[in-house]
Chain A
Amino acid sequence: MKVLVPVKRVVDYNVKVRVKSDNTGVELANIKMSMNPFDEIAVEEAIRLKEKGIATEVVVVSVGVQQCTETLRTALAMGADRGILVQTDVTTESLAVAKVLAGIVAEEAPGLVILGKQAIDDDANQTGQMLAGLLGWAQGTFASKLDPQGETVNVTREIDGGLETVALKMPAIVTTDLRLNEPRYASLPNIMKAKSKPIANKTPADYGVDMTPRLTTLKVTEPAKRQAGIKVKSVDELVAKLKEMGAVA
């Protein structure tokens, strides 16, 4: 079984983003970019399936600017077998990306597509579900456990009230939550080896997809700032303050 893992290049998890002074977006110049953390978890899960002998090949794909090649190399260094870059300079919206991925699925025929549940830049949380909808496949979103058994995969999902498990007929879509696994670091020999792994170059037109965004961002602003309050010295002072604020009776 082949496993397809889409990965997104986003502002690094540790960067504190700043809104541009002209309110057109956030500051992206000279900012460290990395693989979306949820996608790292997806890559890790796919590699583990290969190590267990369940997956035969792990194919990673990224839709975006030329520099997404670096993100693909990171995935290849972790252990993926080959990459596909679908290059576009247009803002990538979930629906258009899902359509590109549907085109790749038609060519590659994977048994599983594992995606991050959301990207930490636009926080949309849509692509996996949209891809599942376009393909008419079953979906196991927000997965904390994944257990393929022959023709089906059992997925344990993190939901509002706890956990639930669904059985999905394969081929299927899985999106990862934080506790599915802890992604490995690529070793230096594997980083070197990744340089010679193949990356195919494609464009959205190869899949007949129009990337034109459906949403226009009119402005981006800072959220309302919260002012730091006071520090109290004792529990008695804290209780008195809470009573004064009407927070407790």
Chain B
Amino acid sequence: MSTLVLAEHDNVDLKDATLATITAATQLGGDVHVLVAGSGCGSVAEAAAKVAGVAKVLVADDAAYGAALPENLAPLIAGLMAGYDAFVAPATSRGKNVAPRVAAALDVAQISEILSVEGPDTFTRPIYAGNAIATVKSSDAKKVITVRGTAFAKAATSGGSASVEAVSGAGSAGTSSFVGAELTKSARPELTAAKIIVSGGRALGSSDKFHEYIDPLADKLGAAVGASRAAVDAGYAPNDYQVGQTGKIVAPELYVAVGISGAIQHLAGMKDSKIIVAINKDEEAPIFQVADVGLVGDLFTLVPELTGKL
């Protein structure tokens, strides 16, 4: 039994999502190898080799893999899978993009966003926006799995001493190219890795108000900023702030929901947070059914007061 893990990275740093994925891979039993596919990604391979539990790091360093285009990556991974029993990727936008393409190439069903490993072929995963948890058993000889990062502990970033081996694939498939990216620049912690998150909802009323009230509180707490779908749809916050079923799944130590009513789809993205605080003027809002501490009132007076008193 051996497992190939797809590393999440930006060609410079190994991302935390990889660490939870390595933990899940370890639970399958057998050797865990990590694939670092990118361009000029040597530092990522070095970091991956130090992660506890990793036996080997495969590096595919090629301009064709720099932007993680699935048309180029999937054939590389499918080719490497001849030597593995399972392929495990983080359920990030990259992992979700490429893993099913690998599964199709291998003619196996993918098991998406697993929450636990119950056995070598049995897993739990959320369905219906997390309103039900299914235990599924795979009959495929090879497994293709994506891992929900918040459900597994992060593997230690030191203690490992994996060998590093260069691999190569066919490179560019010639069907797609990377045009450009508009990445949100922020000095704040990354949403999925943050210990504290302050999220704003539609009640903020405008993009200006969103930043005027949410940002100072987040800065005071050293928190990442999130948003409900309603706030993102209304243009108060960028798309990558969205927490929920179709946005980011988060589980910080402290989640502060400001002016968020708590639609099922939002709760699906944050209900595993350790402590949830809700500030909302509607005392019947569903967010209070999951909040550890609720405060009913006008956020425009309460939030600045809270920011001042912390």
Residues of A participating in the B interface, judged by any CB pair closer than 8 Å: 11, 16-17, 19, 26, 93-95, 98, 117-118, 120-134, 136-139, 141-142, 144, 154, 157-169, 172, 177-179, 213-223, 226, 228-236, 238-239, 241-242, 245, 247-248
Contacts and interface: CB of A to CB of B under 8 A. Distances in A.
A95 B107 contact: yes
B296 A138 contact: no
A112 to B, nearest CB: 14
Name the residue in A121, A142, A154, A161 with the highest tally of chain B Cβ atoms < 10 Å from its Cβ.
A161
Interface of B: 67, 69-71, 74, 92-94, 96-105, 107-113, 122, 126-140, 173-184, 192, 221, 229, 232-233, 238-240, 245-246, 248, 253-254, 264, 271, 275-277, 283, 288-296, 302, 305-306, 309-310
A123 B240 contact: no
A216 B137 contact: yes
Given A126-B100, A226-B289, 19 more contacts: A126-B103, A133-B103, A138-B71, A144-B239, A161-B181, A162-B240, A163-B181, A163-B239, A166-B67, A166-B179, A179-B233, A215-B109, A219-B135, A223-B126, A223-B271, A228-B294, A235-B305, A239-B310, A242-B254
Closest 10 CB pairs of A and B: A133-B104, A129-B100, A229-B292, A214-B109, A133-B101, A126-B100, A130-B104, A164-B181, A138-B175, A165-B179
10 contacts: A16-B264, A121-B128, A122-B127, A124-B112, A134-B104, A159-B181, A168-B175, A178-B229, A223-B131, A226-B289
A173 to B, nearest CB: 10
A166 B175 contact: no
A159 B104 contact: no
Contact of A126 (B110, B175, B180): B110
B261 to A, nearest CB: 14
A231 B182 CA distance: 40
Contacts of B277: 238, 242, 247
B291 A228 contact: yes
Contact of B133 (A133, A220, A242, A247): A220
A64 to B, nearest CB: 16
Contact of A160 (B71, B240, B275): B240
A120 B113 CA distance: 14
Contact of A242 (B104, B136, B246, B293): B293
A129 B70 contact: yes
B175 A169 contact: yes
Given A130-B103, A139-B70, A166-B177, A221 B135 contact: yes
B128 A11 contact: yes
Contacts of A138: 71, 173, 175-176
A218 B110 contact: no
A118 B110 CA distance: 13
Contacts of B290: 226, 228
Contacts of B132: 17, 19, 26, 220-223
Contacts of B245: 120, 123
Given A11-B128, A16-B131, A123-B129, A166 B69 contact: yes
Contacts of A161: 181, 183-184, 240
Name the residue in B96, B100, B181 with the highest tally of chain A Cβ atoms < 10 Å from its Cβ.
B100
